Structure 1
Amino acid sequence: MALQYVVTKRVFGFDKDKNEKYVAKSVRSGKVNFAKMCRKVSQLCGVHRKVVDLVVSGLVDKMAEDIDDGKSVQLGEFGIFSPTIRAKSADDEKDVSSKSIVQRKIIFYPGKIFKDTLEDMSITRRVEIETDYTDGSSNGGNNGGNPDSGDDGKGDNGEAPDPAA
């Protein structure tokens, strides 16, 4: 499956004239949660799902410990997880302190596997499906799936007259 994008209209803050511009924006096709990923890896490797869950949970715990120590963690060709900060700037060096830090975050640098995947991934424009909206009335053209509702406009709802009457 390809990565999809839609075209959106934007006004960029750095544009003095505040002109509207069009830009491609990626659209995700879904999300895979931890349990489902463990199930997939379990099927691929032929081990019980709980074993995969334990190994991955242990890996994440140990990564968190090393990142807490200020270390980057490299997982082979998977990539590198590196702790970093975002801080306010100051005019004088003496004005920079831990209070200047506004955000702590972990940056992921993808390894060869993901770089190759991104390079080979096809990209397509998502076509928006046009939708016809009704006015909400009961006569919106849908007669409940019956091709012929039997209503001939005479008010008898398509019933044959009773010969005994």
Structure 2
Amino acid sequence: MAIKYNIHEIGSNIDPTAPKKFYLRPVSSGEKTLDDLAADISHSCSLTESDVYAVLQSLVREIPRAISDGYIVRLGNLGSFRISINSTGSTRKADVSEANVLKRRLIFHPSKQIKKELDKVTFDKKTSSYKQDT
């Protein structure tokens, strides 16, 4: 299966006088919910859909818990999750506190196996009536 894409003409935010360029942008095919994934997984193993769903729900609960305890969460062939923060600087070390935190982000690093599978993905241009697709 190939990922559909559109073509968008985008100008530079840095130099508005620069010529616009065309960029490929993926088009979503919809969403896969936790329920959908549980059903899909249950068809390829001996667990029931509700068993798979319970495990996935537990994973959703446990990842933030482990992250908040300072751990990097490594999930084998899936990849790993870690926290990253943006903060403001202070002129004195003693002035640095949690108040300096501007943004928290959860970073996902896919495993080598996931990256290898993503390298196999192909792309098909979506047929539409958008002017920028010409």
TM superposition score normalised by structure 2: 0.83
- Greater shift, 105-114 or 59-68, is seen at 59-68
Q: CA offsets per residue over residues 92-140 of structure 1, 9 Å max, x none?
A: 355654333221110100112320111111112212148xxxxxxxxxx
The equivalences for 1:6-155 within 5 A come to 6-15=6-15, 17-88=17-88, 90=89, 92=91, 94=93, 97-129=97-129
The 1:20–1:96 alpha-carbon spacing in structure 2 relative to 1, beyond 3 Å, is farther
TM superposition score normalised by structure 1: 0.69
Secondary structure at the residue paired with 1:44?
coil
Structure 1 stretches of 4+ moved >3 Å: 90-97
More strand by share: 2
Please tell me the root mean square deviation across aligned C-alpha atoms, in Å. Answer: 2.1
Bigger relative contact order, structure 1 or 2 (CA pairs below 8 A, ≥6 apart): 2
Give structure 2 stretches of 5+ with no counterpart.
Answer: none
The 1:97–1:19 alpha-carbon spacing in structure 2 relative to 1, beyond 3 Å, is farther
- What CA distance in whole angstroms lies between the structure 2 residues aligned with 1:65 and 1:91? 29
- What CA distance in whole angstroms lies between the structure 2 residues aligned with 1:91 and 1:61? 34
